[in-house]
Structure 1
Amino acid sequence: MTLPWQRNRGIRQITQGLGTLDREVFEAIADSPTPLLDTIMPPLTRAADHSKLWFAIAAILMSSGNPGARRGAARGVATLGVTSMVTNQVAKRLWKRPRPNRTSVPLPRQIKRFPTSSSLPSGHSASAAAFAVAVGLESPGLGLALALLAGLVGLSRVATGAHYPGDVVAGFGIGAGIAVLGGRLVPPVVETRLPRTEPLVVDTPERPDGAGVVLVVNPASGSGTGARVLGEVREALPRAEIVELGEDDDPEQILRDAAARAEVLAIAGGDGTVSTAAAVAIDAKLPLAVFPAGTFNHFAKDIGCPTVADTVGAIRDGSVVCVDLVCLNESRMVVNTASIGAYPFFVQTREKFEHRLGKPVAGIYAMLHTLRKDEPVTITYDNKTLQTSLFFLGNSVYLPAGFAPSRRTRMDDGLIDVRILETGRPLARLRILAALAFGRLERSPLYHEMQVPEFSFTSANGPIAVARDGEVGEEYDEATFTSMYRVLPVFRPLP
């Protein structure tokens, strides 16, 4: 039987042994006459003073334009602040340890301003680990590179005589622990990775001069963009027939007349007009060429034709692939998105402010603004009844996850992307805003997301207006959305 005093003596012996080992390792590093350490360690440890090194790296990451790098920089700086406070105001007050005797450290390697605070733990090491791990949560590749740099910063604190190795290890533990805890409280954004498949390519003749192409264009679309597109197409595809829509023309009828004599149906307009053209092209069994002439041109951009030159090049080369559409109640086509409730208002508000406030802050403001002015509807789907004012449905899977879908990497996955925010539960608005602010919306029980080949809902309060591709459409008591897998051949540049 081991007595308490024996256990305590054993613990003291272990502690003393670790302290001796810590001092011996310090002396081995300090006594090492290495010119490389003398040259690199002092400037590196000075660069890390007051976290200047990490703030400079964060500024570079923020200006990179890479979403993962920018999120990592923001998370890194926030974690750095918390870690610095915990280390200097809490940890150093709990453990008092004198600084090492630096007489054995070569003079060229010694730092000029020797710190007087407790040696345990190393604040520089804690900040380094906090920043590196926090960035790594959002961007693993960058995190690995920064972890190596953080290790060098920790080594510099020993090499210059500021800390024992144990102080550095303790600092690393504190910084990494706070970063991991932050990742649990505010989960990092995990980009959805979609399976890659080969596109379905359709054998189509080359049309270097546009022969057989009938283009229907609204010259007034996109605040006059349609007129510019018209001129570019006339010059690039001289044999293409161009039909200009007048103010009193019925776009669908004009498109059907054009399809009757076309080998390729082409459209220049906004996404609402593209949706109508897609339905006509399917009925006529024609490939569709889309020229970006609207305000946002989401469909044209997502198929790889953000400019007139891209579409012209695809027509000349005969580059055609098949993409999905969504059919609403077997009568209406959706090329991008459908929604009910206040979702279009939410998107408009967010886009209005995101360039000034940044997307996260603009998203929170738009959500607050929308929830204050929303008119919720009650729907039933999958044997569940809920109240919502923010309902999004997309053709193919959108990225990123959460309630700010913005892009598609493919449009032939045979899936419908459905995202719903439930607003009928107690304190729903406050819970939604809190989840959005802390990055936990995807884990909230008020958030519903699914990727399915078909989705249906019924209204409990009478007909609901369904917006399609940015335009308010008809009202429905029941709505069924069905993915039409690779139903539409479109011209797009091939990789």
Structure 2
Amino acid sequence: MREAPRARSVLSRLDRAVFAQVAKRTWPAAEPVLPRLSRSANRGVLWFGIAAGMWALGGARGRRAAMRGAASLALASLTVNTLAKGAVGRQRPVLDRVPLPRRLPRQPLTTSFPSGHAASAAAFTAGVALESRGMGAALVPVAASVAFSRVYTGVHYPSDVLAGMALGAGAAFAVRGLVPTRDLVPVPARPRAKVPALPDGDGLVVVVNPSSGAGTHLVDPASQIAALLPKAEVLLCGEGGGSLPDLLETAAAEAARRGGVFGVCGGDGTVNAAVAPALRNRVPMLVLPGGTFNHFAADLGVDSVADGCHALAHGHAVRADVGRVRPRGRGAGREPVYFVNTFSLGVYPELVRLREHWSPRIGGPAATLLGAARVLRTATPLEAEVNGRPRSMWFLFAGNGVYRSVGLAPLRRHDVADGLLDVRIAQAGRLARPRLLATAAGGLARTRLYAAARTTGLSVANLPAGTHMAYDGEVVPAGPELVIDKLPEALTVYRPLTD
């Protein structure tokens, strides 16, 4: 029984001895850096700033890593500040031995064990590393410096820092347990397709839309393609005065004539515009991420231009479903439209329209927030019939494949050829405005106000005049009657071999 107190006493003496050694040692290179770095990490400001940069410049993998890092930090901070500090109640170190220039202008008021800064640093870095080892490795020196700065400035004992780092790493793995990383999710047996392997790109005709994701690329995608696939024919939209649809049609026809591959590099709207030419010419597609979100490319596992070029070089491809929207009834002479991600009616098309209207002046994120505020304030429910049943609804969503979600928000798919439409409806009725607010907060997923089904098709009738529909981020007028269904395994697309 006496061994435990004796061991704690030994560890406490060791802890204080190490703290004293750090305090009395001279660190010329650290003095102008570590106190500032320690302050920059207050309330996670440093880490959220890094996350914003990763989100803006890191592509699909960077956005996933930023979200996972931020979620891990939030869980670690909650655990440390609400449970751990109150449970232990350890006093802060005495600052007498710490040189005055090192001390923080404002001393923390909370208890010492464990270190919240160290927990946040470890949680964010471990969370990022679970999505991207390279990005995580780049953050390790920063996280280690923040953790050490807490001892250097005299606000924590070494054991406080070590315990905080352990809790932070544990929070990152706990988040992974709730939301598994891609490598932990079993990939379903997608139908593989027999396609040509083009190691140097000979036979590839690829259209690059430079306006997709403007300003988000560190390296020009066209230059990357030319370097990785030197014999590919790269066509830039905007050169020669041709429109994007005409250029895509020409490229698909030329790729089919050569018996090669039709490529497209751009955002989801550009990819959507390429689907119809690919189907008409029966040519395999290479989808390269070149936009802001690149949802279809990400769900294929193509996180970068290099990923897609590697799949092309080795001849790895699968078949993917294509969603289809066909007009019916009055004025049904229009051609069907296709979607590889999502289709929607209701408030979302209006949000997209407002975002596209305002984003050139105030930027995409601000335009999205302003558009959401406008929609929440002014939108009215959509009255229509769905599969013959009258409904008053805020939105109807149909995903090309089953989406994993947080609340009502569809996040991503793990199978692009499951043969199903993921249909969701947020219903209105009495107290319509509060219901819309609840929908925006994701609070209807388990109530009668929310309907969901997995099906192969549905019909929508009696749509009011002036109704718009959105598909893969594009917004167009909708006819009075629509049929939404699928073309199973209609599209052949290259993707890295992961199963």
Partner of 1:202: 193
CA distance in 2 between partners of 1:412 and 1:340 (Å): 23
Tell me, yes or no, if the aligned pair for 2:323 and 2:340 is still in contact at 8 Å: yes
1:463/1:406 CA distance change after superposition, 3 Å:
same
Same amino acid, percent of matched pairs: 34
Deviates more, 1:452-461 or 1:309-318: 452-461
CA distance in 2 between partners of 1:73 and 1:447 (Å): 33
Matches for 1:374-453 after TM superposition, within 5 Å? 374-422=379-427, 424-434=428-438, 440-453=443-456
**Cα offset for 1:320?**
0.9
Tell me, yes or no, if the aligned pair for 1:255 and 1:277 is still in contact at 8 Å: no
**Cα offset for 1:494?**
0.9
Amino acid at match of 1:237: L
1:419/1:493 CA distance change after superposition, 3 Å:
same
- Could you tell me which runs of 5 or more consecutive residues in structure 1 were left unpaired when the two chains were aligned: 1-28, 44-57, 85-110, 113-188, 354-358
Deviates more, 1:367-376 or 1:260-269: 367-376
Partner of 2:222: 230
CA distance in 1 between partners of 2:263 and 2:188 (Å): 27
Map Cα deviations across residues 62-99 of structure 1 (whole Å, 9 max, x no partner): 99935775675587689869xx9xxxxxxxxxxxxxxx
1:261 is aligned to 2:229: no
CA distance in 1 between partners of 2:475 and 2:293 (Å): 16
Tell me, yes or no, if the aligned pair for 1:259 and 1:281 is still in contact at 8 Å: no
Matches for 1:240-279 after TM superposition, within 5 Å? 240-245=232-237, 246-249=240-243, 250-251=245-246, 252-263=248-259, 264-279=261-276
1:283 is aligned to 2:280: yes
Q: Which structure is larger by alpha-carbon Rg, 1 or 2? A: 1
Residue 281 of structure 1: SS of its match in structure 2?
Answer: helix
CA distance in 2 between partners of 1:467 and 1:346 (Å): 10
Tell me, yes or no, if the aligned pair for 1:216 and 1:255 is still in contact at 8 Å: yes
CA distance in 1 between partners of 2:77 and 2:461 (Å): 42
**Cα offset for 1:285?**
2.2
Amino acid at match of 2:204: V
1:464 is aligned to 2:461: no
Tell me, yes or no, if the aligned pair for 2:252 and 2:283 is still in contact at 8 Å: no
Tell me, yes or no, if the aligned pair for 1:435 and 1:444 is still in contact at 8 Å: no
1:317 is aligned to 2:320: no
1:477/1:41 CA distance change after superposition, 3 Å:
farther
CA distance in 1 between partners of 2:443 and 2:81 (Å): 17
Residue 434 of structure 2: SS of its match in structure 1?
Answer: helix
Partner of 2:165: none
CA distance in 2 between partners of 1:436 and 1:463 (Å): 24
Correspondent of 1:302 among 299, 302, 311: 299
Partner of 1:186: none
Map Cα deviations across residues 374-409 of structure 1 (whole Å, 9 max, x no partner): 143212113432223333322112221432223223
Partner of 1:479: 482
Deviates more, 1:63-72 or 1:235-244: 63-72
CA distance in 2 between partners of 1:37 and 1:471 (Å): 64
Map Cα deviations across residues 347-381 of structure 1 (whole Å, 9 max, x no partner): 7999999xxxxx9xx99997654221214321211
Tell me, yes or no, if the aligned pair for 1:214 and 1:262 is still in contact at 8 Å: no
1:71/1:222 CA distance change after superposition, 3 Å:
closer
Aligned residues: 352
Question: What CA RMSD, in Å, does the superposition of the two structures yield over aligned residues?
Answer: 4.8
Map Cα deviations across residues 269-303 of structure 1 (whole Å, 9 max, x no partner): 33222123222222322210012223332222221
Tell me, yes or no, if the aligned pair for 1:191 and 1:401 is still in contact at 8 Å: no
CA distance in 1 between partners of 2:400 and 2:277 (Å): 18
1:484/1:471 CA distance change after superposition, 3 Å:
same
Normalising to structure 1: TM-score of the pair? 0.58
CA distance in 2 between partners of 1:481 and 1:397 (Å): 15
Correspondent of 1:335 among 340, 349, 363: 340
1:325/1:494 CA distance change after superposition, 3 Å:
same
CA distance in 2 between partners of 1:296 and 1:445 (Å): 32
Matches for 1:53-64 after TM superposition, within 5 Å? none
Tell me, yes or no, if the aligned pair for 1:217 and 1:268 is still in contact at 8 Å: yes
**Cα offset for 1:456?**
2.1
Tell me, yes or no, if the aligned pair for 2:353 and 2:475 is still in contact at 8 Å: no
**Cα offset for 1:485?**
2.4
Partner of 2:458: 455
Amino acid at match of 2:253: D
CA distance in 1 between partners of 2:291 and 2:71 (Å): 30
CA distance in 2 between partners of 1:191 and 1:378 (Å): 38
Normalising to structure 2: TM-score of the pair? 0.57
CA distance in 2 between partners of 1:420 and 1:342 (Å): 12
- Could you tell me which runs of 5 or more consecutive residues in structure 2 were left unpaired when the two chains were aligned: 15-42, 52-65, 92-177, 327-334, 360-364
Residue 476 of structure 1: SS of its match in structure 2?
Answer: coil
